[in-house]
Amino acid sequence: MPEDNIDHVNFDDINAKAISSPLVKHMYTADPAVHVFENKIYIYPSHDINAGEAFDDLGSHFAMKDYHVFSMDHPDGEIADHGMVLHVDDVPWATQQMWDSDCCEKKGKYYLFFSAKDAAGIFRIGVAISDSPKGPFKAQAAAIENSFSIDPCVFKDNNSSYYIYFGGIWGGQLQRWREGKFNGQNHESPTAFLPLNKEAALCAKVAKLSDDLLNFEETPKDVVIKDENGIPIVQGDINRRFFEASWMHVYNGKYYFSYSTGDTHLICYAIGDNPYGPFTYAGVILEPVIGWTTHHSIVEFNSKWYLFYHDSILSKGVTHLRSIKVTELTYDANGFIHTIKPYK
């Protein structure tokens, strides 16, 4: 449920109807990226704070400054906070807005990929490295060369290649890169430079990572989502087009690209045959939650699948003060995901 519809919400009532409770209550957490390392569940969320920034469509009020790492022995178990693992002040190139992150492992090292604004106010993607999934992480001196926008998701394929998915429109600035360079000023409307409604929608990006995981091995490609007729989803198809929050997982040999539709508040997915796609739209994973944003990850643990997500019930609907949650995710006999209602 988007924030502009919460004026008359009874939060005690809606909380009673919620299918899950916040995993973390001593701080606000969002955008959970979840992986199984060392037979435990590790969660790499954003850390929401009330920084006093004005609310706007550019996301200025999402003024996060650091990251914490959490772990669980089981989705039904207790959650451990391993503390702050990276702060914006410790990132040489970053100045503000430590947005969504993700983590992967290679040869005993753990790589935290994160989005933040540089000195010019442009979102870039950085990498920080640790010897432990718990952190702390040490940031590289510079952002990934030629990186842009937000919401990195790193996916290790069966052949041990690593791919990074990223991008977000409006405050995520993806629409400003349509000509291959950053266009416009940061104070401009977030809808400037968007395609027309009948034009193909903006796509998330995907690139194979270099062997050291510190650079793009190739120029990022579009993650094309097609409809049932094989036609790319158009910008005006706001219930199906990509907005932000890329995630990739594999189920029964198929590649599932999932994402948020942003201003229509759905988590959707599309299915393809390889990490690059194209992907065919397949349906809705999660219906709208309390709060304006919706963001997720999907992970298998002990032969069951789980959806990690967030909502703003704990903060009584404050859209930039969110809380991560988890619920089981299931598939039908044909591999389609059963749609989840976050409130009964």
Residues noted as catalytic: 31, 244
Count helices and strands in the chain by DSSP H and E runs: 1, 20
Between CA 45 and CA 182 the distance in angstroms is: 27
Can you read off the two tokens belonging to residue 298?
Answer: 């999907």
Structure tokens given for 137? 């992480």
Cα torsion 12, 16, 18, 20: sign: positive
Bond into 342 cis (ω within 30) = no
Q: How far apart are the first and last CA of the chain?
A: 13
Q: Is 39 left (phi over 0), alpha (psi -120 to 50) or beta?
A: left
Instruction: Identify the sign of the CA torsion 2, 100, 102, 313.
Output: negative
Q: Is 16 left (phi over 0), alpha (psi -120 to 50) or beta?
A: alpha
Q: What span, in angstroms and rounded, lies between the C-alpha atoms of 328 and 323?
A: 17
